[in-house]
Amino acid sequence: MSDGVKITAMIDRYKALKKNVVERYGKIEAPKDKTRFPGNLSSLSDDEIVNWLAHYTEWQVYAGVQAGEADADRKVAESLYKNEKSRALARLAGDKKVRKFELDADIDNDPEIQKLKERWQYHEAAYSLENSYKDGFEKYCFVLSRELTRRLKGEEARFRKDKFGDQEDSKGYDLLNNEEEEEAIT
């Protein structure tokens, strides 16, 4: 089997695997709305924050799937490049008594090797970009979740105060104002 046929077979196996995963889980589509993150969270109602959280969770899932696909593409491209470079190195090393760095320079000038290296670099960049979007959406979700939790904690404290009167927890923490009470020194 020639090197070109081996590479084509490897790519075909990868495409079949990718298709199998999509068939199993379904294609994750990008959310339709591409709005910007809301600037002033304190001006939003709880329902609006929940809606934003759902929106960015949807984007986070989508970006995560895209990053996973980009990671797989990157690994396949890297493998193809390194395998082909190793084969070329073995072919050239058998013909010449030269140092490895000289062989590397000859191999890197080969147009086929250059294409594989460019493909690998492209997929490296795509993975980095997809992963950075996923991380950004994750941070948006974290901020929204934290804001919602902060509000709910305040509501819980107000409920407890209305139901049980002025209450402090066992550590002197004011449940309504979220502040520690200073202990009186006697």
Which of 138-142, 166-170, 181-185 comes out lowest in average pLDDT?
Answer: 181-185
For residue 177, the 8-state DSSP code is T
Q: What angle do CA 124, 55, 128 make, to 5 degrees?
A: 10
Predicted pLDDT of residue 143: 92
Write down the pLDDT at residue 84.
Answer: 85
pLDDT confidence tier of residue 138, bands split at 50, 70 and 90:
very high
23-30: Cβ within 8 A, 24+ apart:
28/61, 28/62, 28/65, 29/62, 30/59, 30/62
Share of the chain above pLDDT 70, in %: 74
Q: Comparing 34-48, 124-138, 170-184, which segment has the lowest mean pLDDT?
A: 170-184
Each residue's pLDDT tens digit, 80-122: 888 888 888 877 776 556 666 667 777 878 888 888 889 999 9
- With H, G, I as helix, E, B as strand and everything else as coil, classify residue 60: helix
Please name every residue paired with 174 in a beta bridge, in sequence order, or none if there are none: 168, 179
Q: What is the DSSP string of 64-127?
A: HHHHHHHHHHHHHHHHHHHHHHHHHHHHHHHH----HHHHHHHHHTSHHHHHHHHHHHHHHHHH
Please report, for the chain, the start and end positions of each structural domain, with discontinuous segments joined by +. Answer: 45-160
pLDDT band with cut points at 50, 70 and 90 for residue 173: very low
Taking the C-alpha atoms of residue 171 and residue 186, their distance in angstroms, rounded to an integer, is 18
Residue pair 78/120 in contact (Cβ under 8 Å)? The answer is yes
| 41-64 mean pLDDT | 90
Q: pTM of the prediction?
A: 0.64
Handedness of CA 103, 109, 115, 120 (dihedral sign): positive
Residue 31 has a pLDDT of 77
Contacts of 155 (CB under 8 A, 6+ apart): none
Q: How confident is the model at residue 21 (pLDDT cuts 50, 70, 90)?
A: confident
